[in-house]
């Protein structure tokens, strides 16, 4: 269970995503939204009302979706492709690789409702592989906002970057975790809690749960540093190395497949720069039936699970 108090407000980041996109579209005529029968599920109905000619809906056709976006970029637009993360990243993987990234087109790929946000709809609709798949495309930034403020910052950053990027927009409701003075820039992590015994490096929906785990660990006499690794690619190498050198133990937490995701990215840096014990909290396999909350608890993607991994890594289980 998570210990986020009942009254802590939580947010569906799709709302902030759409709101920020509308604000930006008012100022920049090049911004267009590209959908796959996903206007409602991406919360882009208002965008369509305000900019009826700047929302392209290709229907249920993800390969076409990404190819069309690349063509729109060629024609001078900045397309925000907004589709359920599993279909965007899985179905259109080669379009993402060849048409967008290898061709270096400024297309912003927005994976909606990622992780296990689709709960009972099952593994076909879960997007646990997207971080791994997107990491495997050379040079594609993989951005995983953790809350509304980061979602808005990511949209602004992606529009200004001039390069392709993948944004993983949470739907499962998350509390605000980002300090007001936090800087959002390429490859930059945010340190959210200080502690000398170990570091928990988390992304997206797991960031607030990592903070909850740190609170649990503190009760048990363990001081955990908590880092929000917003950019899984390019990774904040200095922050990972600092975690290894200064705290000696690392736990990673992500609502995604353990192989190839954040944990793997962190482990690579640790292995090359400063080998220390690493434990990875994530989704091990295709999920059984259940709601998002149920499945997060089922796989230990909660404060207890992260704290348990921390104790194991410290040899105190």
Partner 1 sequence: MTALDIAPRPLELDEAAARAYVERGAGLRAATPAEAAPELAKIATGIRRDVLTTIQAARMGHVGGDLSVTDLLVTAMWGTLRLDPFDPANPERDRFILSKGHCAAALYSTLASCGFFARERLSEFMAPLSPLNGHPNRVKVPGVETNTGPLGHGFPVATGCALGAKLRGESWRTIVVLGDGEMQEGSNWEAAMTAAHYGLDNLTAVVDRNRLQQGARTEDTNKLEPLDDKWAAFGWEVRIIDGHDHQAIKEAYAPSTTGRPVAVVANTVKGKGVSFMEDRVEWHHKVPTDEQVRLALEELSR
Ligand X SMILES: Cc1ncc(C[n+]2csc(CCOP(=O)(O)OP(=O)(O)O)c2C)c(N)n1
Q: Which residues bind partner 1 (CB under 8 A)?
A: 37-41, 57-64, 86-87, 90-91, 118, 120-122, 124-125, 288-291, 294, 297-298
Cis, bond preceding 141 (omega within 30 deg of 0): no
Q: Please tell me whether residue 17 adopts helix, strand or coil conformation.
A: helix
11 binds, among ligand X, partner 1, none (CB under 5 to 8 A by kind): none
Token pair in block for residue 57: 């809906």
Task: Tell me which residues in 75-104 interact with ligand X (CB under 6 A).
Answer: 87, 91
Q: Which of 1, 15, 45, 60 binds ligand X (CB under 6 A)?
A: 60
Angle at alpha carbon of residue 190, lines to 10 and 156, rounded to 5°: 70
- Please say which residue, 169 or 253, places its beta carbon nearer to ligand X: 169
- Please say which residue, 63 or 161, places its beta carbon nearer to partner 1: 63
Q: Is 37 in the site for ligand X (CB under 6 A)?
A: yes
Q: Which residues, at least 6 apart from 179, have a Cβ–Cβ distance to it below 8 Å?
A: 190, 192
In the complex, minimum distance from the CB of residue 30 to partner 1, in angstroms, rounded to a whole number: 23
Q: Is 312 in the site for ligand X (CB under 6 A)?
A: no
Binding mask 209-248 for ligand X (x = CB under 6 A): ----------------------------------------
Torsion (CA) 280, 277, 133, 186 in degrees, nearest 10 = 110
**How far is 246 from 223, CA to CA, in rounded Å?**
12
**How far is 93 from 227, CA to CA, in rounded Å?**
29
Q: Which residues, at least 6 apart from 125, have a Cβ–Cβ distance to it below 8 Å?
A: 84, 86, 118
Q: Is 120 in the site for ligand X (CB under 6 A)?
A: no
In the complex, minimum distance from the CB of residue 213 to ligand X, in angstroms, rounded to a whole number: 34
120 binds, among partner 1, ligand X, none (CB under 5 to 8 A by kind): partner 1
In the complex, minimum distance from the CB of residue 108 to partner 1, in angstroms, rounded to a whole number: 21
Q: Is 64 in the site for ligand X (CB under 6 A)?
A: no
- Please say which residue, 86 or 170, places its beta carbon nearer to ligand X: 86
In the complex, minimum distance from the CB of residue 35 to partner 1, in angstroms, rounded to a whole number: 8
Within 10 angstroms of residue 72's Cβ, the number of other Cβ atoms is: 19
Rg, Å, the chain Cα set:
19
**How far is 315 from 307, CA to CA, in rounded Å?**
12
Q: Which residues, at least 6 apart from 126, have a Cβ–Cβ distance to it below 8 Å?
A: 86, 115, 116, 117, 118, 283, 286, 287
291 binds, among ligand X, partner 1, none (CB under 5 to 8 A by kind): partner 1
- Please say which residue, 39 or 267, places its beta carbon nearer to partner 1: 39
Positions in the binding site for ligand X (CB under 6 A): 36-37, 60, 62, 87, 91
């Amino acid at each position: 269970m998570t210990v986020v108090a009942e009254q802590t407000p939580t947010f569906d980041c799709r709302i902030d995503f759409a709101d920020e996109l509308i604000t930006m579209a008012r100022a920049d005529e090049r911004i267009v939204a590209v959908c796959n029968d996903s206007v409602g599920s991406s919360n882009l109905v208002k965008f369509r009302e305000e900019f009826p000619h700047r929302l392209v809906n290709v229907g249920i056709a993800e390969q076409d979706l990404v190819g069309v976006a690349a063509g729109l970029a060629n024609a001078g637009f900045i397309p925000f492709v907004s589709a359920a993360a599993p279909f965007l990243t899985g179905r259109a993987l080669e379009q993402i690789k060849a048409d967008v990234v290898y061709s270096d087109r400024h297309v912003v790929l927005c994976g909606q409702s990622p992780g296990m946000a689709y709960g009972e709809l099952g593994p076909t609709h879960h997007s646990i592989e997207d971080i791994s798949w997107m990491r495997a495309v050379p040079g594609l930034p993989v951005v995983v906002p953790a809350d509304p403020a980061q979602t808005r910052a990511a949209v602004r950053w992606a529009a200004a970057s001039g390069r392709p990027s993948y944004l993983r927009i949470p739907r499962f409701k998350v509390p605000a975790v980002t300090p007001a003075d936090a800087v959002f820039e390429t490859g930059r992590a945010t340190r959210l809690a200080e502690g000398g015994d170990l570091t928990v490096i988390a992304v997206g929906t797991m960031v607030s749960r990592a903070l909850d785990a740190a609170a649990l660990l503190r009760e048990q006499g363990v001081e955990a540093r908590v880092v929000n690794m917003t950019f899984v690619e390019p990774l904040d190498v200095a922050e990972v190395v600092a975690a290894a050198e200064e705290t000696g133990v690392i736990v990673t937490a992500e609502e995604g497949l353990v192989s190839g995701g954040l944990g793997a990215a962190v482990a690579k840096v640790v292995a090359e720069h400063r080998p220390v014990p690493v434990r990875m909290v994530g989704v091990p396999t295709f999920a059984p039936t259940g709601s998002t909350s149920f499945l997060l608890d089922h796989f230990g993607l909660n404060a207890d699970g992260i704290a348990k991994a921390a104790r194991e890594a410290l040899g105190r289980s």
